[in-house]
Structure 1
Amino acid sequence: MKPSKKFIRTPLAAIAAGLLCSSVWAADPFVVKDIRVEGLQRVEPGTVFSYLPVKVGETFTDDKGADAIRALYNTGFFKDVKVESDGQVLVVTVEERPAVSQLEFTGIKEFDKDALKKSLKAVGVAEARYYDKALIDKAEQELKRQYVSRGYYAAEVITTVTPVERNRVAIVFNVDEGQVSKIVQINIVGNQAFKEKDLREEMQLSTPNWLSWYTKNDLYSKQKLTADLEAIRSFYLNRGYLEFVIESTQVSITPDKKGIYLNINIREGQQYKVASVKLAGELLNKEEELTKLVNLKIGDVFSSAKLTESTKAIADKLGAYGYAFAAINPQPNLQKDKQLVDLNLIVDPGKRTYVRKINVSGNAKTRDEVIRREMRQLESSWFDSEKLKLSKDRINRLGYFTDVEVNTEDIPGVSDQVDVGIKVAEKPTGSLSLGAGFSSTDKLILTAGISQENAFGTGTSIGLNVNTGKTNRTLALSNYDPYFTEDGISRFTEVYTRTSRPLYYLGDSEYKIVSTGGSFKLGVPYSEVDRVFFGLGIEQLKMETSTNTPDRYNQYVSSYGNSNMNVPFTIGWSRDARDSALIPSRGTYQQVNFEYGTPLADLQYYRIYYQHQYFYPFSKGNILSFNGEIGYGDTYNKKPFPVTKNYFVGGIGSVRGYMPGSLGPSYTNSLNGAITPVGGSSKLVGNVEYTFPVPGSGVDKTLRIFGFLDAGNIYDGVPDFAGLRTSTGFGLSWISPLGPLKFSYGFPLNTKPGDRLQRFQFQIGTAF
Structure 2
Amino acid sequence: MSISVKGRAHRRWIGLIAALLFSQTVWSADFTISDIRVEGLQRISPGTVFNYMPVSIGDTVSDSVTANVIRALYGTGFFDDVRVERDGTILVIWVEERPAIAEIDISGNKDIKTDDLKKGLQDIGLAEGRVFNRSLLDRIELELKRQYFARGKYGVEIQSTVSPLERNRVAVRIEIAEGVTSRIKQINLIGNESFSEKQLLRQFKLGKSRWHSFYSKNDQYSKQKLAGDLESLRSFYLDRGFIKFEIDSTQVSISPDKKDIYVTIVIDEGGRYQISDIRLAGESAVPTEELFPLIHMRRGDTFSRSQTAESAERISKRLANEGYAFANVNTIPEINDEDLTVAVTFFVDPGRRVYVRRINMKGNTETRDEVLRREMRQLEGAWFSADLVRESQERLQRLGYFDDVSIETPAVPGSADQVDVDVTVKEKPSGNLMAGIGYSQSQGILFNTSISQNNFLGTGKRVSFAFNTSDSNQYYQLAYTNPYFTVDGISRGFELSYRKIDYDDLTGADYTTDVGKAGMSFGLPITDTSKAGLGFRYQYTNFHPGDNSALAQDFVDSNGDVFNDFILTASYTRDSRDQAIFPTKGASQALVAEVSVPGSDLQYYRLSYRDRRYVPLTSRFVLSVRGDVGYGDGYGSTDGLPFFENYYAGGPRSVRGWEESSLGPRETSGDFDATGGNLKLAGSIELFAPPPIGGQFEKTLRLGAFFDFGNVWATQDSDLVSPTGFSLSDIRYSTGLSVSWMSPVGALSASLGFPLNAEDEDDTQVFQFNFGQSF
Instruction: Report the TM-score range of the alignment, normalised by the length of the smaller protein.
Output: 0.7 to 0.9
With over 3 angstroms needed to count, the CA separation of the structure-2 counterparts of 1:336 and 1:428, relative to structure 1, is: farther
Normalising by structure 1, what TM-score? 0.85
When structure 1 is superposed on structure 2, of 556-565 and 19-28 the one drifting more is 19-28
Taking the aligned partners of 1:547 and 1:448, their CA distance within structure 2 comes to 31
Query: Which amino acid counterpart does residue 384 of structure 1 have in structure 2?
Result: S
With over 3 angstroms needed to count, the CA separation of the structure-2 counterparts of 1:461 and 1:168, relative to structure 1, is: farther
2:721 corresponds in structure 1 to none
Secondary structure at the counterpart of residue 169 of structure 1: strand
Deviation of 1:227 (Å): 0.9
Secondary structure at the counterpart of residue 48 of structure 2: helix
Instruction: Tell me, yes or no, if the aligned pair for 1:742 and 1:765 is still in contact at 8 Å.
Output: no
Secondary structure at the counterpart of residue 188 of structure 1: strand
The match for 1:723 among 727, 730, 749 is 730
1:170 has 2:171 as partner:
yes
Deviation of 1:276 (Å): 1.7
Taking the aligned partners of 1:543 and 1:278, their CA distance within structure 2 comes to 75
Deviation of 1:560 (Å): 3.4
When structure 1 is superposed on structure 2, of 128-137 and 754-763 the one drifting more is 754-763
Taking the aligned partners of 2:679 and 2:217, their CA distance within structure 1 comes to 51
With over 3 angstroms needed to count, the CA separation of the structure-2 counterparts of 1:172 and 1:206, relative to structure 1, is: same
With over 3 angstroms needed to count, the CA separation of the structure-2 counterparts of 1:187 and 1:438, relative to structure 1, is: closer
When structure 1 is superposed on structure 2, of 574-583 and 127-136 the one drifting more is 574-583
Query: Which amino acid counterpart does residue 143 of structure 2 have in structure 1?
Result: E
1:681 has 2:678 as partner:
yes
**Any residues of structure 2 matched to 1:311-460 within 5 Å, and which?**
311-354=312-355, 374-377=375-378, 382-398=383-399, 417=419, 432-435=434-437, 447-450=447-450
**CA displacement, residues 429-451 of structure 1 (integer Å, 9 cap, x when unaligned):** 96733349999x99xx7824236
**CA displacement, residues 397-443 of structure 1 (integer Å, 9 cap, x when unaligned):** 4467899776767899986547667788989996733349999x99x
Taking the aligned partners of 2:473 and 2:540, their CA distance within structure 1 comes to 17
1:122 corresponds in structure 2 to 123
2:536 corresponds in structure 1 to 536
**Any residues of structure 2 matched to 1:152-167 within 5 Å, and which?**
152-167=153-168
**Any residues of structure 2 matched to 1:22-61 within 5 Å, and which?**
23=23, 32-56=33-57
Taking the aligned partners of 2:472 and 2:774, their CA distance within structure 1 comes to 29
Taking the aligned partners of 1:333 and 1:765, their CA distance within structure 2 comes to 64
Deviation of 1:635 (Å): 2.2
Deviation of 1:99 (Å): 1.0
Taking the aligned partners of 1:228 and 1:62, their CA distance within structure 2 comes to 61
Query: Which amino acid counterpart does residue 104 of structure 2 have in structure 1?
Result: L
With over 3 angstroms needed to count, the CA separation of the structure-2 counterparts of 1:505 and 1:678, relative to structure 1, is: closer
Taking the aligned partners of 1:318 and 1:583, their CA distance within structure 2 comes to 36
Deviation of 1:689 (Å): 4.2
Q: How many positions carry a matched residue from both structures?
A: 747
1:134 corresponds in structure 2 to 135
1:752 has 2:750 as partner:
no
With over 3 angstroms needed to count, the CA separation of the structure-2 counterparts of 1:556 and 1:92, relative to structure 1, is: farther
When structure 1 is superposed on structure 2, of 427-436 and 129-138 the one drifting more is 427-436
**Any residues of structure 2 matched to 1:573-612 within 5 Å, and which?**
573-582=572-581, 584-599=583-598, 601-612=600-611
Q: Identity, % of aligned pairs?
A: 41
1:227 corresponds in structure 2 to 228
RMSD (CA atoms): 4.2
Instruction: Tell me, yes or no, if the aligned pair for 2:66 and 2:84 is still in contact at 8 Å.
Output: yes
Taking the aligned partners of 1:396 and 1:86, their CA distance within structure 2 comes to 75
2:710 corresponds in structure 1 to 712
Instruction: Tell me, yes or no, if the aligned pair for 1:332 and 1:343 is still in contact at 8 Å.
Output: yes
Taking the aligned partners of 1:410 and 1:565, their CA distance within structure 2 comes to 63
Taking the aligned partners of 1:83 and 1:72, their CA distance within structure 2 comes to 11
Instruction: Tell me, yes or no, if the aligned pair for 2:336 and 2:342 is still in contact at 8 Å.
Output: yes
Taking the aligned partners of 1:431 and 1:628, their CA distance within structure 2 comes to 34
Normalising by structure 2, what TM-score? 0.84
Taking the aligned partners of 1:161 and 1:357, their CA distance within structure 2 comes to 64
1:6 corresponds in structure 2 to none
1:564 corresponds in structure 2 to 563
**Any residues of structure 2 matched to 1:624-663 within 5 Å, and which?**
624-639=623-638, 640-663=640-663
When structure 1 is superposed on structure 2, of 203-212 and 186-195 the one drifting more is 186-195
Deviation of 1:503 (Å): 0.9
Query: Which amino acid counterpart does residue 181 of structure 2 have in structure 1?
Result: V
Secondary structure at the counterpart of residue 294 of structure 2: coil
**Any residues of structure 2 matched to 1:194-343 within 5 Å, and which?**
194-343=195-344
Deviation of 1:565 (Å): 2.4
Taking the aligned partners of 1:126 and 1:168, their CA distance within structure 2 comes to 13
Secondary structure at the counterpart of residue 503 of structure 2: coil
With over 3 angstroms needed to count, the CA separation of the structure-2 counterparts of 1:712 and 1:232, relative to structure 1, is: same
Instruction: Tell me, yes or no, if the aligned pair for 1:428 and 1:739 is still in contact at 8 Å.
Output: no
Taking the aligned partners of 2:425 and 2:174, their CA distance within structure 1 comes to 42
**Any residues of structure 2 matched to 1:430-579 within 5 Å, and which?**
432-435=434-437, 447-450=447-450, 464-467=465-468, 469-483=470-484, 487-504=488-505, 511-549=511-549, 551-579=550-578
**CA displacement, residues 148-191 of structure 1 (integer Å, 9 cap, x when unaligned):** 00000000111121111211111121000011100111111222
The answer for unaligned runs of 5 or more in structure 2 is 1-13, 716-724
Secondary structure at the counterpart of residue 517 of structure 1: strand
With over 3 angstroms needed to count, the CA separation of the structure-2 counterparts of 1:16 and 1:106, relative to structure 1, is: closer
Taking the aligned partners of 2:405 and 2:760, their CA distance within structure 1 comes to 49
With over 3 angstroms needed to count, the CA separation of the structure-2 counterparts of 1:306 and 1:141, relative to structure 1, is: same
With over 3 angstroms needed to count, the CA separation of the structure-2 counterparts of 1:385 and 1:619, relative to structure 1, is: farther
When structure 1 is superposed on structure 2, of 747-756 and 145-154 the one drifting more is 747-756
With over 3 angstroms needed to count, the CA separation of the structure-2 counterparts of 1:16 and 1:766, relative to structure 1, is: same
Instruction: Tell me, yes or no, if the aligned pair for 2:590 and 2:610 is still in contact at 8 Å.
Output: yes
With over 3 angstroms needed to count, the CA separation of the structure-2 counterparts of 1:54 and 1:561, relative to structure 1, is: farther
Secondary structure at the counterpart of residue 302 of structure 1: coil
Instruction: Tell me, yes or no, if the aligned pair for 2:360 and 2:422 is still in contact at 8 Å.
Output: yes
Query: Which amino acid counterpart does residue 82 of structure 2 have in structure 1?
Result: V
2:11 corresponds in structure 1 to none
Instruction: Tell me, yes or no, if the aligned pair for 1:20 and 1:73 is still in contact at 8 Å.
Output: no
With over 3 angstroms needed to count, the CA separation of the structure-2 counterparts of 1:124 and 1:389, relative to structure 1, is: same
Deviation of 1:91 (Å): 3.5
2:10 corresponds in structure 1 to none
Taking the aligned partners of 2:484 and 2:594, their CA distance within structure 1 comes to 24
With over 3 angstroms needed to count, the CA separation of the structure-2 counterparts of 1:431 and 1:215, relative to structure 1, is: farther
Deviation of 1:251 (Å): 0.7
Deviation of 1:749 (Å): 3.4
Query: Which amino acid counterpart does residue 219 of structure 2 have in structure 1?
Result: D
Taking the aligned partners of 1:22 and 1:685, their CA distance within structure 2 comes to 95
2:6 corresponds in structure 1 to none
Instruction: Tell me, yes or no, if the aligned pair for 1:400 and 1:429 is still in contact at 8 Å.
Output: no
Deviation of 1:656 (Å): 3.6
Taking the aligned partners of 1:111 and 1:292, their CA distance within structure 2 comes to 54
Query: Which amino acid counterpart does residue 634 of structure 2 have in structure 1?
Result: T
Instruction: Tell me, yes or no, if the aligned pair for 2:360 and 2:420 is still in contact at 8 Å.
Output: no
Taking the aligned partners of 1:46 and 1:319, their CA distance within structure 2 comes to 62
Instruction: Tell me, yes or no, if the aligned pair for 1:399 and 1:580 is still in contact at 8 Å.
Output: no
Instruction: Tell me, yes or no, if the aligned pair for 1:366 and 1:456 is still in contact at 8 Å.
Output: no
Instruction: Tell me, yes or no, if the aligned pair for 1:683 and 1:719 is still in contact at 8 Å.
Output: no
Query: Which amino acid counterpart does residue 682 of structure 2 have in structure 1?
Result: V
Taking the aligned partners of 1:27 and 1:390, their CA distance within structure 2 comes to 82
Deviation of 1:755 (Å): 3.1
Taking the aligned partners of 1:709 and 1:525, their CA distance within structure 2 comes to 35
With over 3 angstroms needed to count, the CA separation of the structure-2 counterparts of 1:496 and 1:703, relative to structure 1, is: same
Secondary structure at the counterpart of residue 376 of structure 1: coil
